[in-house]
Chains A and B, each alone.
Chain A
Amino acid sequence: MATVDFRVGERAHITVQSDVCRSCTTKACVTACPADLFTPTADGGILFNYERCFECGTCYLVCNNQGAITWTYPDGGHGVVFHRS
């Protein structure tokens, strides 16, 4: 969409440790993430893609497995850019 841009940084600003996710029974991130970035994998883990992240913070709030999600802001100038929001 013209008004929302993603300047994808080299560094993934959010990482997910999928083996920790295998023990998670709720996987709330999958539906709660407004950008739909969390995908359940066949082995019971989670695949996460940072490229079109809104950087909202919902995922780290709903994640009930400490340490599964490492959440930081993207490097300066990168990530979501709202042009007219």
Chain B
Amino acid sequence: MAEASGETTSGGFDAVVVGAGPAGSAAALVLARAGRSVCLLERGPFPGSKNMYGGVVYGRVLDAILPRWWEEAPIQRWVTRRSTVIMTSTQSVSVDVRSQRWGQPPYNGATALRPEFDSWLAGQAVAAGATLVCSTTATGLLREGGRVIGVSTDRPQGDIGAAVVIACDGVNSFLAKEAGLHHHSEAAHFTLGAKEVLDLGRTEIERRFGLVGREGADLEIVGCTGDIPGGGFLYTNLDSVAVGVVLSVEGLADTHVRPEQVIAELKAHPHIAPLVAGGELKEYSAHLIPEGGYAMMPDLVADGMLVAGDAAATCLAAGLWLEGVNYAIASGAAAGTTVADALAVGDVTARGLAPYVRRLQEGFVLPNLRRLRRVPDLLLSDRMQSLYPAIVCNVAEGMFTVTDPVPKPGLLRLARRELTTAGVRLRDAGRDAWTAVRSFG
């Protein structure tokens, strides 16, 4: 086993990054560029082989790390059209936003396939000098006294010594749990994302979604998961669509409904059915999401160890804003910078690594997560899931239903009627509105 001091190790690495997803690759990239020896450890056969998501990558965070990244990153479509949809079984109300600017450099969001995207990002870390080791699972932390000095792996004589371990081992992070950093890993904080990828062909996608060239569409939906708190999504890949649901794990357990059943119901909804009709099933997959956000974040720093990405619950699952890969990249890069500085002064204790949290506070990661910390509860609340969709859809329908010979009722009358019918107290609705204003305003 390699010994580790505050500086370069002999026979080990300066740092071992566990997990070659976006957080791990960003951390390894930064460390390699700082001239540090870094082992990027991946349990899958290649980076991204164990990752799936909806989803959309927001690349702004890459501008500083990989200038003009959009010329090389493997993306499917540049999202130029995004819809937030609230629905009942027979109705839907969409706020549909389109911007041509999102379809030109430096772009905004892009759909991408994780095995391709993650492999590309890990390749950047390797090009910078990181040592990528795949098909190797970290099995635990190595310690000296209370300090983390590396990881054990499932390879024969597979201990990897390092001055610092950066745990980027995803939503189930065993390493962060082993280090005693997790205090909020109850099922209530997690949702299950399950999706189908349906082949439609490029032309058909462009036709159905009103897209040109590599433009893409992003639909995010609430009110489509029946008795299970959650939401739905539909994203356009180049020649396929990813359609799926995000389901409260507790709700899933309580209702005994299968995830595939919820996806089927979403696909049958009148707003969605025409968009996915005839699509050939190419993939079915699922992955957990650390939905709780700020409320479930673990301690991020220990002696000789940092946590980044989904392992640190940095995912932003805030209803209107669904972002994870960018937060993983930002937290991984911040971890890498922190470790590089700490190694330079020879202090990789928790105190020496403490600037990591300050870095996250100075960028967007902690400020956004903190600002939106009330949204997961609001989004998964009974009112948001069962009552507001019907109210919004009925009010909208009422506004546009001609009532001749009865004079038009008007918005306020419709709203009041629907709130009363749904049994929502004005006080609760007001409080929810205030939460929304504080979070999104």
Of the candidates B113, B171, B284, B285, the one having the most CB atoms from chain A within 10 angstroms of its own CB is B285
Q: Mark A66-84, 1 if CB is under 8 A from B, else 0.
A: 0000000111111111111
Interface residues on A, range: 20 to 34
Question: Which residue, of A4, A76, A80, has the highest number of chain B Cβ atoms within 10 A?
Answer: A76
Interface residues of B in 91-144 (CB under 8 A from A): 113-116, 134-137
Say yes or no: A85-B45 contact (C-beta < 8 A), given A56-B286, A77-B135.
no
With A1-B281, A31-B252, A76-B137 as contacts: A85 and B190 at CB distance below 8 Å: no
Contact of B283 among A1, A28, A58, A74 (CB under 8 A): A1
Contact present for B286 and A35 (CB under 8 Å): yes
Q: A28-B256, A57-B171 are in contact. Are A83 and B190 (CB under 8 A)?
A: no
* CA distance in complex: A79, B346 (Å): 39
A-B contact count (CB 8 A): 116
Asked whether B253 lies within 8 Å of A62 as measured between CB atoms, the reply is yes
From known contacts A77-B45, A77-B134, A82-B114, infer whether A31 and B256 are also in contact, taking CB-CB under 8 Å.
Answer: yes
B283/A3 in contact, CB under 8 A: yes
- Per-residue contact bits, chain A 39-71, to B (CB 8 Å; 1 contact, 0 not): 000000000000000111110011000000000
Q: Which interface residue of A36, A54, A61, A79 has the most chain B CB atoms within 10 A?
A: A61
Cβ-based interface call for B344 (8 A): no
Residue-wise interface mask of B (186-229) relative to A, using a CB-CB cutoff of 8 A (1 in contact, 0 not): 01001010100100000000000000000000000000000000
Question: Using a CB-CB cutoff of 8 Å, which residues 156-183 of chain B contact chain A?
Answer: 171-172, 174
Query: If A28-B253, A84-B116 touch, does A54 touch B287 (CB 8 Å cutoff)?
Result: yes
Q: Do A61 and B187 touch (CB < 8 A)?
A: yes
A62-B137 in contact given A57-B288, A83-B115 (Cβ < 8 Å): no
Interface size class of B (residues with CB under 8 A): 35 or more
Q: Which chain A residue lies CB-closest to B251? A: A32
Contact of A58 among B136, B192, B281, B285 (CB under 8 A): B192
The complex places the Cα of A59 from the Cα of B286 at a distance, in Å, of 12
Identify the closest chain A residue to B44 (Cβ).
A81
Q: Which of B37-77 contact A (CB under 8 A)?
A: 43-45, 48-52
Given A31-B258, A84-B113; A76-B283 close (CB under 8 Å) = no
User: Does A74 lie within 8 Å of B285, measured CB to CB?
Assistant: no
**B288 engages A58 (CB within 8 Å):** yes
Whether, in the assembled complex, B368 has its beta carbon less than 8 Å from a beta carbon of chain A, the answer is no
Residues of A within 8 A of B197 (CB): 3, 85
Q: Mark B240-252, 1 if CB is under 8 A from A, else 0.
A: 0000000001101
For A75, give the chain B residue with the smallest CB separation: B154
Check if B260 is an interface residue, CB within 8 A of chain A: yes
Assess A85 versus B285: contact at CB under 8 Å? Given A28-B256, A32-B252, A73-B43: yes
Interface of A toward B, CB cutoff 8 Å: 1-4, 7, 26, 28, 30-32, 34-36, 54-58, 61-62, 73-85
CB-CB nearest 3 A-B residue pairs:
A77-B135, A34-B286, A28-B253
Q: Write the residues of chain B forming the contact surface with A, with a CB cutoff of 8 angstroms.
A: 43-45, 48-52, 113-116, 134-137, 153-155, 171-172, 174, 187, 190, 192, 194, 197, 249-250, 252-254, 256-260, 281-288
